[in-house]
Amino acid sequence: MALQANSTQTYRGNVLVEAPALPRRPRASLGLTREARLAYAILAPTLLVIVFLVAYPFVAAIYLSLQSKMVGAPGRFVGLANYAELFRDEVFLRTAWNSVVYTVVAVLLKFVIGLAMALVLDQERPFNNLFRTLLFVPWAVPVVIVALNWRWIYDDLSGFLNNFLITFHLTSNIISWLSDPHLAMGCVVAVVVWAGTPFYAMTFLAGLQAIAKELYEAAEIDGASIVQQFFYITVPRLKTIFITTVMLSTIWTATNLTFVLILTRGGPANRTEIFPHLAYEIALGARRLGMGAAVSLVFFPVLVIFITLLTRRMLREREE
Amino acid sequence: MGGSVARTRRILKWTGNILLVVMLVWTLVPFYWMLATSLKKDKEIYGFEATLIPRQPTLDAYRRIFVQTPFLKYLRNSLLIAVGTTVASLVLGSLGAYALARLKFPGRGIIARGLIFTYLVPQSLLFIPLFAVMSFLTLIDTREGLFLAYLGITLPFCTWLLLGYFRSVPLELEEAALVDGCSRLATLVRIILPMSLPALAVVAFFSFTQAWNEFIYANVLVNSVDVRTITTGLTLFIVEDVFFWGPMMAASVMATIPPVLVYLAFQRWVVKGLTLGAVKG
Amino acid sequence: MVNGRVTRRFVLKAGVAAAASSPWWLARSSHAQRAKKLVFWHVPNFTPLADELQKQQVYEFAKQAGLKDTDVEYAVVANEQFQAKLAAAIEAGNPPDVTRLYESNVQYYAANGHLLDMTDLVDKMRREPKGIFESAMTSILYKGRAMGVPLAVNPWPVHARLDLLEQAHLEYPKTWDEFIETSKKIQSPPRLFAFGMCLGLVEDTTDNVMNLLWCYGGKMVEADNKTVVMNSPENLAGVKVIEAMFKTHKIIPPGAISWDNSGNNKAYQSKQAAFVMNPSSIYAYLDGNDKDLQKVTGLYPVPAGPKGTVNQIDTWAYGAFKKNPNPELAKGLLDYLMQPANYDKIIQSTGGRWVPVYKRLFESPFWTGKPAFKHFIKMAETGVPVSYAGSPTPAAGEVLNTQVIPKMIQRVLVENWEPAKALDECHKKIAEIYTRTEKG
């Protein structure tokens, strides 16, 4: 049987093989093997949930983006007119640029810090459980609260940062963190990173735990340095998790609007405006649902390409 | 050779400890601020009289929450839904991942690859058609409705993550067990799951957290206080243009506790050095 | 699998496990969403007492109308989430029966045929001795019919620190020029800035900015609700004044750029701003939290510009949705809530946040006993909505909700654009909105 792509392969020992098939039974009247029927039975709840609660709304959203529709009013099909209007808007270009910068920088930082965190937590030391829990906690706090809390921290006069800096004589001026066009984006990204890094650390740590100690011991006996061990043992085995985590986090970061909504509302002067926030403002502020859907979906092709490329990369890795 | 490795190890150990301290500070300072604000009198919260350390600590904000709002009800609802979501994600995720990893059926590749794509559409867009679906299913204003909506958020990731993990479990172990007369379900429970504990822990953390923190659907799908969760309850402390920071931070502090307990509980599964003992060569 | 034994037991166990954690209750049919006969969405009125009273009154009415408590749904919806919830509910064909709507929302939903005609009730209200503040009618009238029930008319006074003025031996400034001079004398940055003007990307900014522009003769749109006049020379003059206040005279805190709607409240309440233009929510907050500061707070009309003083009001109204299987109940509820005796109880319990829409109620000791409110009656009578010179139409609502004017002012203050250029861009955007909304 020719080696198919990803999902039908599995490990035998350390080697990637094709998952063996059951001995073929004569086909049941429905045309499905018993195994297939079992699989569908098991997957049915998951598929139902996804179809009704994700797929259907998604298709509805696409259709919405092709309409001129306001809240409470009937829609009118206009094809790609919403998208056309979007590409003519100068705010759109600024928003696109912001969205890319915001997403890329945040994901990069989360990756690096998350990996460092996972490696540190992987080391043996007393009270590791406690440290792990403490470092994961930012993820446990509702995003709304994180944003509000940080908004408060950044506050000009009542905020922690300025109070701290002034009390310890590190500055004599008040820094308007969120009002300064040069600082605002950085401040928002800092919050995104603070809240999202635990996810990376969590998944990377799970991956690190799955690597057998013997492999490191064997490599050490063979004379490999720590650095070599890291790059030749750890990294290859974490590649899948790296890619999955980055993929998911990119999607979530790019489509999250809460931080911008609460911290800056897209300001100052559109410096922190990103797609999901723009979509929200249009869909609910201007009540133009069709246009809002279009803004939300504009990034969609980019993300699809991104995911496809990454998945293909991931599969190719596994075949090595 | 051994010496330099040992030295590198020591350097790494101390670097690790320093980094740990830095990360702990960076992580915990905002929590300190949250906690401190919740213990301050209103005057100490705002303006130039804002203090780094509460000078007149008070539990008034906490009292206000419990006395003036049905906070305990919110807590109960959030817990029920989050626990339900976590359990269902673990069970359905494991079963689904098992099917995708070990069974052959048409559409297998598509489903496995397609799981990730379900995350492409943001909740901030989905919530309106989702509301229509829930309305149709008469699940508005019910805990079950929220539970289902959250499964839509957690199941794809959990299934995907477990799928990856299950695939890395060598076949020989299950084959041996099956030859010995175990049923498939038994091999799943007794062999595959124990080897995937770290991933299961992540599934538990993820599901609980998503369900616990979710805001958009909770806001739109639920009205009555009996069913309301903590996240929407928290925003009620923002009344028009007035923020009641003290009570809001107090409620936030309390809302952070259950997820922390969940993390502590499942830490046991994130154990170092799980060896794939039966691996040959 | 070498030995692919798919035993029946396995199938059974898997099936049970899947079923146990899957939504079998989807099959139940007994949960009907319109079991409720009266659905009221309450947006918190600011004081817990007022909220409690409103709830009581709704249930009292229900009992009078022969309903059981279980027939009533009383949902509290936070202000921030209200738009999202209402949008979803309307789209699914399941709006509440009665709720509070802000300004242009009444005309928006009326235009799309969602609201019940409340002209009868409003006429009844106007027939009360002394009637109501007619300025409240601008937002609720749609094609000559009253599509909402005005609940409150809120002037936007300037909250002023009387103690600081006294210290400097100054009077409350009568013109904007005086205002700037006075501000420079009483402020002590960075601790205390004089003018807490909201400049963030929020609704308060539109309100603050337009209020100043009106005093210079400017306005957003003509009374025909079609001719946009944003790039007029009068508006330009006003914007230049704001620019000077921020950049040259530095009487506005730089952090105002990132304020949300509570920013100016917090600034005044924490003594970081001396003058703040805001509805009396600040005053009411001080009533419960800082009586000392309240004693030295005066509520004044806005200083005059070359074209005089123009003050702003905004209106809240109750709306009843047509998709109501029991419209008489909705109308009856509103009638009950607006009966002066019931209404007054709630108004008084908001500590000065809500100004009654019945003129007569404004003469009660509750108001006359508060010297700070002495200018209020005139402001309520002569005030204009933010959409001046037009009325709060859906187009005006969209301009407000999408922060067109805050973005314009930030172009000038943050990106250092020429005011004329920023106003031109703003004018184009607003004109586009008005044209599009006209087309329908």
Q: Is residue A176 part of a domain?
A: yes
Q: Is residue A174 part of a domain?
A: yes
pLDDT at A36 over 90: no
Neighbors of chain C by Cβ distance (3+ pairs < 8 Å): A, B
CA distances from A29 to A25, A26, A34, A69, A206 (A): 12, 9, 11, 48, 44
Q: Is B67 exposed, middle or buried (0-12, 13-18, 19+ CB in 10 A)?
A: exposed
| Residue pLDDT, tens place only, C135-160 | 888 889 998 899 999 988 889 999 99
Looking at residue A195, its pLDDT comes to 93
Secondary structure (3-state) at C329: helix
Q: Could you tell me the pLDDT band of residue C15, with boundaries at 50, 70 and 90?
A: low
Looking at residue B281, its pLDDT comes to 25
Q: Which of C6-20, C181-195, C417-431 has the lowest mean pLDDT?
A: C6-20
Per the DSSP assignment, residues forming a β-bridge with C145 are C142
| Residue pLDDT, tens place only, B175-209 | 888 888 877 778 888 888 888 887 888 888 889 98
> How close A175 comes to chain B (CA, Å)?
14
Neighbors of chain A by Cβ distance (3+ pairs < 8 Å): B, C
Counting residues of chain A whose pLDDT is more than 70, the rounded percentage is: 89
pLDDT at C14 over 60: no
Q: How many CA atoms lie within 13 A of A3 on its CB side?
A: 10
| Residue pLDDT, tens place only, B228-281 | 888 887 777 766 556 677 888 888 888 888 888 887 777 766 654 333 322 222
Q: Is residue A118 part of a domain?
A: yes
Phi, psi torsion values for A88, nearest 5 degrees: -85, -10
Q: Which residues of B touch C88 (CB under 8 A)?
A: 127-128, 131, 220
Angle between helices A184-209 and A128-140 (to 10 degrees): 140
pLDDT at C219 over 90: yes
Pairwise CB contact (< 8 Å): C289 & B174: no
More confident residue, B49 or A309: A309
Distance of CA A65 to the CA centre of its chain: 24
Kindly state the tokens that stand for B164: 């990856």
Option in C2, C78, C91 nearest B128 (CB): C91
Option in A41, A73, A286 nearest C401 (CB): A286
The mean pLDDT value of chain A amounts to: 82
Is the ipTM reported for this complex over the cut 0.95? no
Secondary structure (3-state) at A134: helix
pLDDT at C4 over 70: no
Looking at residue C20, its pLDDT comes to 52
Mutant choice from A265, A277, A282 vs C, greatest count of C C-beta within 10 A: A265
Mutant choice from A54, A131, A282, A284 vs B, greatest count of B C-beta within 10 A: A54
More confident residue, C124 or B279: C124
CA distances from A188 to A15, A148, A183, A266 (A): 45, 12, 9, 10
The mean pLDDT value of chain C amounts to: 86
CA triple A299-A303-A308, angle to 5 deg: 155
Q: How many CA atoms lie within 13 A of C225 on its CB side?
A: 17
**DSSP structure class, residue B169:** S
Pairwise CB contact (< 8 Å): B87 & C21: yes
Pairwise CB contact (< 8 Å): B235 & C76: no
Phi, psi torsion values for C20, nearest 5 degrees: -60, -30
pLDDT at C331 over 60: yes
Residues 257-276 of chain B with CB under 8 A from chain C are: none
Option in A40, A119, A300 nearest B120 (CB): A300
Residue B102's nearest CA partner among A43, A320, A247 is: A43
Option in C23, C411, C433 nearest A269 (CB): C411
Mutant choice from B128, B231, B241, B245 vs C, greatest count of C C-beta within 10 A: B241
Cβ neighbours around B106 below 10 Å, total: 13
* Percent helix / strand / coil, chain B, rounded to 5: 75, 0, 25
Looking at residue A241, its pLDDT comes to 81
Strands A9-12 and A15-18: antiparallel
Q: Which residues of A touch C202 (CB under 8 A)?
A: 265
The mean pLDDT value of chain B amounts to: 80
Return all residues near A175 (Cβ < 8 A) that are at least 6 apart: A161, A162, A165, A183
Closest chain A residue to the Cα of C411, Cα to Cα: A269
Q: Which residues of C touch B135 (CB under 8 A)?
A: 33, 92-94
Q: How far apart are CA A303 and CA A313, in angstroms?
A: 15
Kindly state the tokens that stand for B128: 């309106």
Q: How far apart are CA A148 and CA A258, in angstroms?
A: 10
Q: Could you tell me the pLDDT band of residue B129, with boundaries at 50, 70 and 90?
A: confident
| Residue pLDDT, tens place only, C384-420 | 999 998 989 989 999 998 899 999 999 999 999 999 9
| Residue pLDDT, tens place only, A123-182 | 888 888 888 888 888 887 888 888 888 988 898 877 788 888 877 877 777 788 888 888
Secondary structure (3-state) at C276: strand
- Residues C209 and C201 sit within 8 Å (Cβ to Cβ): no
Q: Does A4 touch chain B (CB under 8 A)?
A: yes
Cβ neighbours around C364 below 10 Å, total: 13
Average pLDDT over residues A178-200: 92
- Give the DSSP H or E segment for C348: helix C340-349
- Give the DSSP H or E segment for C145: strand C145-146
Closest chain C residue to the Cα of A35, Cα to Cα: C6
> How close A163 comes to chain C (CA, Å)?
12
CA distances from C348 to B244, C284, C309, C333, C353 (A): 21, 11, 29, 20, 9
Strands C149-155 and A76-77: unpaired
Angle between helices C203-215 and C404-413 (to 10 degrees): 70
Helix boundaries (H) for C187-339: 203-215, 233-243, 263-269, 281-289, 291-295, 327-337
Q: Which residues of C304-321 are buried (b: 16+ CB within 10 A; e: fewer)?
A: bbeeebbbbbbbbbbbbb
Kindly state the tokens that stand for C377: 């009656």
Phi-psi region of A223 (alpha: psi -120 to 50; beta: other; left: phi over 0): left
Q: Which residues of B touch C93 (CB under 8 A)?
A: 135
Per the DSSP assignment, residues forming a β-bridge with A180 are none
Pairwise CB contact (< 8 Å): A209 & B113: no
Q: Which residues of B touch C92 (CB under 8 A)?
A: 131-132, 135
- Residues B149 and B88 sit within 8 Å (Cβ to Cβ): no
Counting residues of chain A whose pLDDT is more than 90, the rounded percentage is: 16
- Residues C47 and C353 sit within 8 Å (Cβ to Cβ): yes
- Residues C141 and C177 sit within 8 Å (Cβ to Cβ): no
Average pLDDT over residues A12-41: 67
Q: Does B60 touch chain C (CB under 8 A)?
A: no
Counting residues of chain C whose pLDDT is more than 90, the rounded percentage is: 50
pLDDT at C125 over 70: yes
Q: Is residue A44 part of a domain?
A: no
Pairwise CB contact (< 8 Å): C269 & B179: no
**DSSP structure class, residue C246:** I
- Residues C181 and C346 sit within 8 Å (Cβ to Cβ): no
- Give C74-122 as a DSSP string: EEE--HHHHHHHHHHHHHTT---SEEEEETHHHHHHHHTT-B---HHHH
pLDDT at C268 over 80: yes
CATH number of the structural domain spanning residue A99 = 1.10.3720.10
Q: Does B132 touch chain C (CB under 8 A)?
A: yes
Number of H helices, E strands in chain C: 20, 11
CA distances from C44 to C50, C316, C413, C439 (A): 8, 13, 34, 35
Return all residues near C134 (Cβ < 8 A) that are at least 6 apart: C381
Whether residue A301 is preceded by a cis peptide bond, meaning omega within 30 degrees of 0, is no
Q: How far apart are CA B130 and CA A60, in angstroms?
A: 9
Per the DSSP assignment, residues forming a β-bridge with C98 are C40, C320
Q: How far apart are CA C207 and CA C314, in angstroms?
A: 9
Closest chain B residue to the Cα of C267, Cα to Cα: B47
Q: Is residue A20 part of a domain?
A: no
Pairwise CB contact (< 8 Å): B45 & A158: yes
Counting residues of chain B whose pLDDT is more than 90, the rounded percentage is: 13
> How close C99 comes to chain B (CA, Å)?
13
More confident residue, A222 or A30: A222
Q: Is residue A224 part of a domain?
A: yes
Secondary structure (3-state) at B59: coil
Cβ neighbours around C79 below 10 Å, total: 18
Number of domains in chain A: 1
Pairwise CB contact (< 8 Å): B87 & C20: no
pLDDT at C119 over 50: yes
Q: Does B80 touch chain C (CB under 8 A)?
A: no
Q: Is residue A166 part of a domain?
A: yes
CA distances from A63 to A52, A78, A285, B15, B17 (A): 16, 10, 20, 54, 53
Domain of residue A189: give its range: 90-319
Q: Work out how many CB contacts closer than 8 A connect B with C.
A: 136
CA triple C313-C318-C323, angle to 5 deg: 140
Q: Is residue A241 part of a domain?
A: yes
More confident residue, C36 or C196: C196
Kindly state the tokens that stand for B174: 């299950």
Pairwise CB contact (< 8 Å): C261 & B241: yes
